[in-house]
Structure 1
Amino acid sequence: MSLSGYGGKDPLNEFRKASFAAFNTLVYEIQKQIVLVLNNMNITNQSSKKNEDENFNISTPKKIGRNDPCPCGSGKKYKQCHGKYSLR
C-alpha cells in the first residue's frame, strides 16, 4: 500500500479498499463471536424462575425513632440531624 503511488494507482483509493476489507473482516469476526456466545448460552425454564421469586422476601426498613442516633453516623439524635428535615 505504501508504494502504490509508484505503480500508477491512487494511494487514497488503495487505502480505502484496504480499510474496507479490514472493516469487513472485523464485522465478520464480531458476528462469529456473537454466534459462539449465543450457542453457549444456558436457557432455563420459567417455572424455576418463579420458584426463585417466591423465595425472595422483601424486608421493610427499620423505622428510626426521633431519639435514636442518626443513621448518617454524625452521633447526633435523629431529630436534631436529618429528622428535622423530614418533620417539616
Structure 2
Amino acid sequence: MVQRFSTSQQMMLRRTPVVKAAPKEEHSAHTISQRIRTLKKIPPELLPVGFVVAVAVAFAGYSLINKLFSDKTLRLSRSSGRD
C-alpha cells in the first residue's frame, strides 16, 4: 500500500538546508601597508572614473558649504517668537 502525504506533511519532511561557514575575510590580519598594496589590483580603466567622481563629490561639498555660509536668506534655525 502506497502512503500519500498531504501538502502540510510534505512541508514537514523537507531536509534542513546546509549552512556553509562564512568565508574568512581577506584582510582579517593584514597590516595597513598590505592593504594599500592591494590597490594595485584596481584596473587602470577605473582610474578616470574615480577621478571624475572624486571631483564631483568635492565640488558638491564646496557648493553646499558655500551656500550655507553665503546665503543670508537661508533659514538655518527656527524663528524666535513663532511656534
- Per the shorter chain, which TM-score range? 0.3 to 0.5
Tell me which of the two structures has the higher relative contact order, counting C-alpha pairs closer than 8 angstroms and 6 or more residues apart.
Answer: 1
Larger Rg: 1
